[in-house]
Amino acid sequence: MRVLVIGAGALGGYYGARLVRAGGDVNFLVRAGRAEQLRRNGLQVVSPQGDFAVQPKIILANDLKETFDVVLVGVKSYSLDDAMAQFAPAVGAHTMILPILNGLKHVDALTARFGAAQVLGGLANVSAGLDADGRVVQFMANQTIVFGEIGGSLSERVLALETLLHVPGIDVRASEAIMQDMWEKFVQLSTLAGITCLMRASIGDILAVPNGEQSIFRLFAECCAVATASGFEPRAPFIEFDRKLFTTPDSPLKASMLRDIERGSVTEAEHILGDMANRARALGIDTPLLDLARAHVAAYEIGRQRAAS
């Protein structure tokens, strides 16, 4: 399969580089500045499993004329509209669009633009970011990608894509319940982003203060209630996994949303915290801690925009 990766940031850069290193036919759709950086330095990955670099094939939006078998979308939510306009020429009648963005709102946007038959559900669990030199830095040794038909079947195309992505450095799983998987990730991320941004601290530091653990799990309960009312009650293994995740002493874990705040960047707060809170309001669920976290990051965004102007 021919793969077009949208962007070469933390998500697209990590998974795309792994595919290139394994011999995959991969192109990266990037902006001119990032293209120049990649031509000069290659696509570099700093990983607990060993650092490496690949020389990627690069396409600029104006040069995109042909269709691809797979379009892997890993941009930030606030860049999705521009990205869709740019990669539209790559989408043919049989193209699979695999989004691995955070949250759920993007599924509706992609479906509205390209049609339900083109869009898969997907999620990624990788703790990574770009450093000042444009390298993809993997902070922890997790690198899962899960995807499937939104309707729930294990189709031939999904199984073929699973085979394609089964390369060193990617833990891949085709799912018959991708919307359940995505809702559980939505709950986990809303909890992690909400509490670490609200406290401006890692999970380990939050656990070390009075009522820290209780605050984490109050927010977790609020998000679980929204998922349950939406028809996707979190499953027992997920609850147990997150309970361990959020009670690990000295854990350095923090949301990428907090990393964005720390470097003064725009965040995905409304796509994650705002969307979860809006769904809660529509369902009549009270989420005071979630609302506070949303307001906290929204106030940061106002200050950031004022400073920029």
Q: What Rg value do the Cα atoms of the chain yield, rounded?
A: 19
- For residues 148 and 159, give the distance between their C-alpha atoms in angstroms, rounded to a whole number: 9
What angle (nearest 5°) sits at the alpha carbon of residue 5, between those of residues 34 and 304?
50
CB of 128 within 8 A of CB of 137? yes
**156-165 vs 10-21: helix crossing angle, rounded to 10:** 80
43-46 and 52-54 strand pairing:
antiparallel
Active-site residue (options: 65, 76, 105, 185):
185
Q: How many CA atoms within 13 Å lie on the side-chain side of 243?
A: 8
Return the closest-CA partner of residue 254 out of 202, 199, 186, 293: 202
In the residue annotation, 254 being an active-site residue is answered as no
For the annotated catalytic residues, the residue numbers are 185
